[in-house]
Amino acid sequence: MCGIVGYSGIRQAVPILIDSLKRLEYRGYDSAGIAVFNESNVEVYKDKGKIVDLEKTLPNIPGNVGIGHTRWATHGRPNKINAHPHTSGNISVVHNGIIENYQQLREKLIRSGYQFSSETDTEALAHLINNYYKNDLVDAVILALNDIKGSYAIAVLCGNELVAARKDSPLVIGIGENENFIASDIPAILKYTRKMIFLDDMEIAYVAPDKVSFFDTGKKPIEKTMKLIEWDLEAAEKSGYEHFMLKEIHEQPKALHETFAGRISELEGTIAFDGLNLKEEQVKDINRISIIACGTSYNAGLLGKYLFEQLAGIHVDVEIASEFRYSHSSPGSLVIGISQSGETADTLAALREAKTFGGRSLAITNIMGSTITRDADSCIYMRSGPEIGVAATKTFMSQLGVLYLLALYFGKGKGKISSDRMKRMLVSLRKVPAQITRILSNKELIKKYAGIYSSSSDIFFIGRTLNYPIALEGALKLKEISYIHAEGYAAGELKHGPLALITKNTPVIAIATKGLTYDKMVNNIKEVKAREAPVIAIADEKDSEIEKYVDAVIRVPATDDILSPMLSTVVVQLLSYYTAKARNCPIDQPRNLAKSVTVE
């Protein structure tokens, strides 16, 4: 997703805009630009490429008000002309989202005498605002947005006036002393303030150095609540690690500890959530759950299906959010939407669709004040802290942590889990962060195997039952950051087609921790070994048999078989990271991908 920043204050705008844009580089982008009011007119500088390239061309621009943007190409190629900001007269605009009726607006504006120089939909918005501008920027923005169909988060600069608005794309206002900020994500401006106000859909903000005023689309004033962000700036920095992804993999013990903190009592065998709004006795009435998510969050949801069905005896459907709205299927009496950003467009749309069927909705997210927290009836925060790397790691782990707690909570409510078993499970859960730390201390072995197979063209990940979602996640991580073609399969499906692709040049990562299907998994490993494929097994440290059937073994600590997927997750993350590093790939900013997918 593209990045937006804005500043109005008493300091020079350019250094703040550039610094803030750099903190959004993790989102992925192909061009960048700024517009600054220099006390007489607005100066615009933009170009394709990285922010550091733009910096080289910037002259000294005095001015205390400005906007900036990093663009990920949608409408139009990545070049200087299509880069933001886009201008029309005295109006400059930066925009995230998609204007669906752009072509009709373009034709109408051309007939009115406006000329277009770019291929973007955003230029139409700049011309629209200019067309309506009559010395009141808020009025002009409202009138222009009334003509728009689609999604947007925008910052508009006219002279020294600054206006922001949103619909279906995130936008946050930062409150400072004699200065205020606009950003599409918290880390962009966290260096300058922890006081944040989150815009809701169809809201407009007028941003000045000494105040911020909020309006609805009828220009009726709105009162907004400020939130204090508990993250510190250090949490959003690399802290000595070469990449954000590696740092965030190493932060997983802490993230999981935060996920559990204050929610579980091993002594009493109880679980409590601060945002669930579902008592244990109400759980008895829930017989079907639908989990809606995309990408990594979908893989977490798929593991959640196994957990709810095994621990609580509740049937669970897991839906790809982008497909749910078109499947014509009715959801369960509880719909769980999983989105680390809380702004995933497909997940939000699917959750809203599901709510029309009645029943309850629950959001699992990492971002306070995000859209999904307002759309759902209940919300559970993952508490992972900021995640900068595009490829999700610690947020996936925290999603798993929440799902384990929920499944146990529902199991207790359904009478499927005894008090003794609950206490044992919670004790085992508490040990997982320390067990992850042990795996991280063994990363040199994982790095070795990653280097051996980093030149492969294809790699398969296989697992069964609880380990199948981790096979999917391992394959997703590898293809995201190393660009190796990777597939995750339920190992029992190998004979139904995938074996045709197995050769001596096709490494297979087999997640073979102890459990219900361990013997069957060993048979699946034998099937691929019969085709001469090299096999790396992820196995229990107490498993003395697995070495007979594979080429290499990466050990994880012994734990309850139902908890082992969390440990295997760390191994596949590190394998993916070190494979990408061996291939000299841009790990934190993989090509064509964005951290938060806010357009459908």
**pLDDT tens-digit map of 354-398:** 888 888 899 999 988 788 988 899 999 999 888 888 899 999 999
Do the beta carbons of residue 397 and residue 566 sit within 8 Å?
yes
Confidence tier at 10 by pLDDT (50, 70, 90): very high
Mind telling me the catalytic residues? Answer: 2, 595
Confidence tier at 344 by pLDDT (50, 70, 90): confident
Q: In angstroms, what is the C-alpha Rg of the chain?
A: 25
- Residue-wise DSSP of 516-547: TTHHHHHHHHHHHHTTT--EEEEEETT-SSGG
- Give pLDDT tens digits for 70-122: 986 665 677 788 889 999 999 999 998 889 898 999 999 999 999 999 988 99
- Give pLDDT tens digits for 18-47: 999 988 876 667 889 999 999 889 999 998
Q: Which of 516, 392, 519, 531 is nearest to 460 (CA)?
A: 531
Instruction: Report which residue type is found at 306.
Output: Y
Residue 1 is predicted with a pLDDT of 59
- The structural architecture, per CATH, of the domain 3-229 is 4-Layer Sandwich (3.60)
Q: Which of 31-40, 174-183, 567-576 has the lowest mean pLDDT?
A: 31-40
Of 1 and 396, more confident? 396
Query: Is residue 236 predicted with pLDDT exceeding 70?
Result: no
DSSP-H helix ranges across 342-418? 345-355, 371-375, 394-413
| pTM for the whole structure | 0.77
Respond yes or no on whether the N-terminal peptide bond of residue 85 is cis (omega within 30° of 0): yes
- Give pLDDT tens digits for 44-67: 999 888 898 899 889 989 999 999
Q: Residue 6 corresponds to which tokens in the numbers above?
A: 């804005």
Question: How many angstroms separate the CA atoms of 301 and 317, rounded?
Answer: 9
3-state secondary structure 269-282: CEECCCCCCCCHHH
Q: Which of 452, 449, 465 is nearest to 524 (CA)?
A: 465
Q: Residue 52 corresponds to which tokens in the numbers above?
A: 């550091």
Q: Residue 364 corresponds to which tokens in the numbers above?
A: 């699992």
Query: Is residue 599 predicted with pLDDT exceeding 80?
Result: no
Question: How many angstroms separate the CA atoms of 35 and 186, rounded?
Answer: 21
Residue 73 is predicted with a pLDDT of 66
Do the beta carbons of residue 133 and residue 147 sit within 8 Å?
no
DSSP-H helix ranges across 266-393? 280-283, 295-311, 321-324, 345-355, 371-375
Query: Is residue 285 predicted with pLDDT exceeding 60?
Result: yes
Question: How many angstroms separate the CA atoms of 449 and 578, rounded?
Answer: 9
Do the beta carbons of residue 17 and residue 7 sit within 8 Å?
yes
- Give pLDDT tens digits for 477-524: 999 999 999 999 999 888 888 888 888 999 999 999 999 999 999 999
Q: Which of 371, 24, 384 is nearest to 231 (CA)?
A: 384
Determine the distance from the C-alpha atom of residue 144 to the mean position of all C-alpha atoms in its chain, rounded to a whole number.
30
- The structural architecture, per CATH, of the domain 243-436 is 3-Layer(aba) Sandwich (3.40)
Q: What is the mean pLDDT of residues 243-259?
A: 93
CA dihedral (328, 332, 337, 338) in degrees, to 10, reads -110
Residue 168 per-residue DSSP state? B
Q: Which of 126, 92, 96 is nearest to 109 (CA)?
A: 126
Question: How many angstroms separate the CA atoms of 114 and 127, rounded?
Answer: 7
- Give pLDDT tens digits for 400-447: 999 999 999 999 999 999 999 999 999 999 999 999 999 998 899 999
- Give pLDDT tens digits for 314-335: 999 999 998 987 877 788 889 9
The widest CA-to-CA distance across the chain, in whole angstroms, is 79
Q: Do 243-436 and 442-600 show the same overall fold?
A: yes
Q: Residue 447 corresponds to which tokens in the numbers above?
A: 């790095």
Confidence tier at 597 by pLDDT (50, 70, 90): low
Question: How many angstroms separate the CA atoms of 119 and 576, rounded?
Answer: 37
Fold of 442-600: Rossmann fold (3.40.50)
Question: How many angstroms separate the CA atoms of 432 and 96, rounded?
Answer: 39
Cβ partners under 8 Å of residue 192, min gap 6? 16, 20, 174, 176, 179, 181
Cβ partners under 8 Å of residue 376, min gap 6? 337, 351, 361, 362, 363
Q: Residue 490 corresponds to which tokens in the numbers above?
A: 């339920």
Do the beta carbons of residue 598 and residue 343 sit within 8 Å?
yes
Which residues are registered as beta bridge partners of 487?
Answer: 460
Query: Is residue 460 predicted with pLDDT exceeding 80?
Result: yes
Do the beta carbons of residue 13 and residue 65 sit within 8 Å?
yes
Strand order in the sheet with 161-167: 86-88, 91-96, 152-158, 161-167, 203-207, 212-216
Query: Is residue 168 predicted with pLDDT exceeding 60?
Result: yes
Cβ partners under 8 Å of residue 465, min gap 6? 306, 515, 516, 517
Residue 508 is predicted with a pLDDT of 96
Question: How many angstroms separate the CA atoms of 279 and 515, rounded?
Answer: 32
- Segment holding 447, helix H or strand E: helix 443-453
Q: Residue 160 corresponds to which tokens in the numbers above?
A: 């020294």
Question: How many angstroms separate the CA atoms of 556 and 565, rounded?
Answer: 10
Question: How many angstroms separate the CA atoms of 556 and 579, rounded?
Answer: 19
Domain-wise residue ranges, the chain = 3-229, 243-436, 442-600
Question: How many angstroms separate the CA atoms of 154 and 549, rounded?
Answer: 57
Question: How many angstroms separate the CA atoms of 141 and 175, rounded?
Answer: 22
Cβ partners under 8 Å of residue 520, min gap 6? 464, 491, 492
